[in-house]
A and B are shown apart, each in its own frame.
Chain A
Amino acid sequence: MSAPARKLRVATTSLAGCFGCHMSFLDIDEHLFELVELIEFDRSPLTDIKEVGPCDIGLIEGGVCNAENVHVLRAFRRNCKTLIALGACAVNGGLPAQRNHLPLSECLREVYQFRPGIANGQIPNDPELPLPLDKVRPIHEVVRIDYFLPGCPPSGPAIWKFLTDLIAGRSPRLTGGLLHYD
């Protein structure tokens, strides 16, 4: 792939995720050298930039489990021309969403008050802590999403295929066994 006139600006973040998708992103290994010829990073755990700026591509790992996630997701949507749900949790809520059939108060009490070994436990209530939502949501239920890349995590080759399709101006397509939900 020839280098574009201007490098594409890419932002990434993990909301209610485990950073496994980001680890998988790094699993594209030596393709990272090709990638840095084509893109530069904006907000991302890789740069430590705290606020997202105008970008071509935004990669979102994880679902939406609290108020801060909503804020970050909306900021990404405002700034990114193309927004991508990266991985199972962003696509359908994933593991964090498995609390969805339980009342939130019960979850919090179970973890912070009744867990064995806890004495005088209290549910954290610091104003700095983002408030949890009653249900964990996939990101497409909060903002418009342009592309979805499922998998837990999507494999390095799947991420590479997806990004190279996108950068080359093709509709990204996961063929040849690259599409997996697990």
Chain B
Amino acid sequence: MKKKETASAKTRRFISNTIVHVSLAVLAIIWLFPIFWVVLTSFRGEKGSYVSSFFPKTYTLDNYKRLFTDTSILNFPQMFMNTLIIACFCAVISSIFVLSVSYCMSRLRFKMRKAYMNMAMILGLFPGFMSMVAVYYILKAIGLSEGSLIRLSLILVYTGGTGLSFQIAKGFFDTVPKALDEAAFLDGCNKFQVFTKVTIPLSKPIIVYTILTSFMAPWLDFIFAKVICRADAKYYTVSIGLWRMLEKEYIDSWYTCFAAGAVCVSIPIAILFVCMQNCYVEGMAGAVKG
């Protein structure tokens, strides 16, 4: 009798597992489909933006070669470097901002705390590009809208507002036991030392998350880059370059290169993620021991 039950439970479990896995597989395929298509298109040998078959008829690496060598009209390598530089600065500066603000909100008690959190919440409800024209004129007024200072303006724009998006990191810091802080205080740490010596080492996952998201911002943003760079092609970021490849004049010859560019953009982000993944797993497992 007992044996029979386990057998039927086994089959039941088998059936439910199969259903779950099949549906997950279907979802995964749907989700990965566009990415797969972009990768395929980046290796496509035929020209043009419209194709009648899903799989390319010929495969080639020329799209990548052209993307990085044909710099006369759309200088992709330069755009790539611009974005990479900006992204590196952003990753460092915004992470410091976000983590510091989150720590303050989580650990310190001061009068404006509640008010600040409410304000941040409300400001966060407005889309950032609402202020783009104002931002442009402010940058122009302080003389940052011309020449190589454009890079600096972009870094400022991408990092300036990140102090407002502290919610996730603050939530994480809240889960780190206060007892640890108190122990550190007893040992003679000041608040800054608690932050750097206790909270930070225990919060690797959220640090990785913060660095990744702030590194990605310049790669994804189009609207601020467009408004601030205007006609200075030397300082374009990849998103403007990719957008230009789809304009009427270029789309036919640049479409496959556009796909190649899209793939290339994902590479630095992927590398950063792979490097940081170790910390991610460690941090998740390590939190508090005793």
* Genuine A/B complex: no
Please give the residue numbers on chain A whose beta carbons come within 8 Å of chain B beta carbons, in ascending order: none
Please give the residue numbers on chain B whose beta carbons come within 8 Å of chain A beta carbons, in ascending order: none
